[in-house]
């Protein structure tokens, strides 16, 4: 009996030793698996971090490039400057061998592509692994893609457009009558293109004209230069409006769009009072803490002034210089003025040489080109279209300049 118990005890002890050996083997195998999983977690986590860093760099590069649109060459160059590739402004010390591709494109879903309105940046880089190499995985390949458009951001603005609708807008550059009013039509098309860039909920727009209308209710009638002489005449024929478009499609029923479409040309030119009327609308009906903007277009020299001023008044004797003076007062209040000189190569009757209301040259002499250039807030805010032609490009440039700093990242796959 004692012998049998001793033998059983020895057999039990042997079984325990065998089981302990099996547990050690299982533990070692489990430890290898756990370490492998931990290694993969570390490597995958680092790859995720590297991807987020690369994506942030691609976003920054696309946004920086988009602010240079619609110039595709400059947009691509600036996007590369902000890329993480060697020498770029967003170079990452921990991410090597980054390659960058940049392209510009036209997204038809965003109005005003001239010639491009989006920048696409693609960043690619391999990331080294710390532990996954034990499993034969030496690198992860990461890719980041970003698209930014411009002008497509939204900056609150109150904008007054000032339209020269004088008789020369319905003449050829030689002074011959143009029943089609080609120049005026080009101006209308340009202004409507401009509106397509804007967001009416935050960017309000109104219209001032010269010569003025006898009243707002007659804004579509053929103007008469005698309206300059009435203090009750309406220069601002459409106040600041927020109903000119919906989903970036112009609403022809809106007062602003309908008034642009119905303008007729007649009469002589005087800048100053129209500019002052535009500023008054901004001050009276504009919103506080919103940037004020005037976009002024004229095709020639000022040559008249209201008779309710004395005959010695600069409004009458120096109508071009008075326009410059009035603009200076407006700019001093913080309003940004863009000016467009249109068809300034016209030769009819010295159209672009500024004259007194008497017909004598302004003294000292000044040209329409110089006056309209000085009306602008800066040289870059002056646009010259010396001969007749489409104006959409110039209005596009103005819209793009207003949108600088408001470029936006988009999902162009959904466009």
pLDDT tens-digit readout, 327-337 = 999 999 999 99
Distant-in-sequence, close-in-space partners of 163: CB < 8 Å, separation ≥ 6: 187, 191, 207, 208, 209, 210, 260, 263, 297
Asked whether residue 134 carries a pLDDT value surpassing 60, the answer given is: no
For 31-49, what is each residue's pLDDT tens digit?
656 655 665 666 666 667 7
In this prediction, residues 191-203 reach a mean pLDDT of 91
Q: Where are the domains of the chain?
A: 15-149, 157-408
Give the 3-state secondary structure of residue 174.
Answer: coil
If one compares 100 and 133, the residue with the highest pLDDT of the two is: 100
User: Does the global pTM surpass 0.75?
Assistant: no
Mean pLDDT over each residue of the chain, to the nearest integer:
85
Cα separation, 352 vs 326, whole angstroms: 20
Cα separation, 392 vs 382, whole angstroms: 15
If one compares 33 and 2, the residue with the highest pLDDT of the two is: 33
Cα separation, 211 vs 162, whole angstroms: 11
| Closest to 146 in 3D by CA, of 68, 70, 82, 73 | 82
If one compares 3 and 220, the residue with the highest pLDDT of the two is: 220
Asked whether residue 287 carries a pLDDT value surpassing 70, the answer given is: yes
For 245-268, what is each residue's pLDDT tens digit?
987 789 999 999 999 999 999 999
For 216-241, what is each residue's pLDDT tens digit?
999 999 999 999 999 999 999 999 99
If one compares 174 and 358, the residue with the highest pLDDT of the two is: 358
If one compares 332 and 139, the residue with the highest pLDDT of the two is: 332
* CATH match of 157-408 with 3.40.50.410: yes
pLDDT value of residue 16? 47
Cα separation, 86 vs 59, whole angstroms: 17
Residue 395: both structure tokens together? 């209005």
Asked whether residue 30 carries a pLDDT value surpassing 90, the answer given is: no
% of the chain at pLDDT higher than 70: 79
Compute the Cα dihedral for 42, 46, 47, 49 and give only its sign.
positive
Please tell me the least confidently modeled range out of 100-109, 197-206, 351-360, 396-405. Answer: 396-405
pLDDT value of residue 393? 84
- H or E stretch covering 382: strand 382-385
Contact call for residues 227 and 212 (beta carbons, < 8 A): yes
């Amino acid at each position: 009996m004692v012998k049998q118990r001793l033998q059983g005890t020895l057999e039990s002890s042997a079984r325990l030793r065998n089981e302990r050996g099996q547990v050690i083997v299982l533990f070692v195998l489990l430890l290898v698996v756990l370490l492998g999983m931990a290694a993969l977690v570390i490597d995958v986590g680092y790859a995720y971090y590297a991807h987020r860093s690369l994506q942030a760099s691609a976003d920054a590069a696309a946004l920086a490039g988009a602010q240079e649109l619609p110039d595709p060459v400059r947009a691509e160059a600036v996007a590369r400057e902000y890329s993480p590739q060697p020498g770029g402004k967003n170079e990452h010390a921990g991410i090597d061998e980054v390659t960058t591709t940049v392209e510009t494109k036209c997204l038809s879903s965003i109005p005003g592509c001239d010639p491009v309105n989006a920048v696409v940046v693609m960043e690619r880089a391999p990331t080294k692994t710390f532990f996954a190499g034990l499993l034969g995985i030496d690198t992860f390949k990461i890719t980041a893609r970003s698209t930014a458009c411009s002008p497509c951001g939204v900056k609150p603005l109150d904008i007054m457009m000032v339209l020269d609708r004088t008789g020369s807008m319905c003449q050829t550059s030689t002074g011959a009558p143009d029943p089609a009013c080609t120049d005026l039509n080009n101006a209308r098309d340009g202004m409507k293109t401009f509106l397509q860039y804007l967001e009416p909920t935050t960017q309000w727009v109104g219209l001032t004209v010269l010569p003025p209308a006898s009243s707002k209710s007659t804004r579509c009638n053929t103007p008469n230069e005698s309206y300059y002489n009435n203090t009750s005449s309406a220069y601002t024929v459409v106040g600041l409006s927020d109903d000119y478009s919906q989903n970036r499609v112009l609403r022809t029923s809106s007062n602003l769009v309908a008034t642009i479409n119905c303008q007729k040309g007649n009469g002589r030119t005087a800048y100053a009072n129209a500019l002052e009327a535009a500023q008054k609308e901004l001050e009276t009906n504009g919103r506080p803490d919103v940037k004020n903007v005037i976009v002024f277009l004229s095709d020639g020299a000022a040559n008249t002034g209201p008779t309710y001023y004395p005959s010695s008044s600069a409004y009458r004797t120096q109508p071009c210089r008075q326009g410059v003076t009035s603009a200076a007062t407006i700019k001093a209040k913080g309003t940004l003025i863009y000016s467009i000189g249109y068809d300034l190569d016209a030769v009819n009757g010295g159209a672009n040489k500024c004259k007194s209301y008497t017909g004598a040259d302004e003294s000292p002499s000044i040209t329409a080109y110089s006056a309209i250039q000085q009306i602008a807030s800066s040289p870059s805010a002056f646009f010259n279209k010396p001969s007749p032609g489409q104006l959409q490009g110039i209005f596009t440039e103005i819209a793009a300049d207003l949108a600088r700093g408001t470029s936006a990242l988009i999902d162009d796959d959904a466009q």
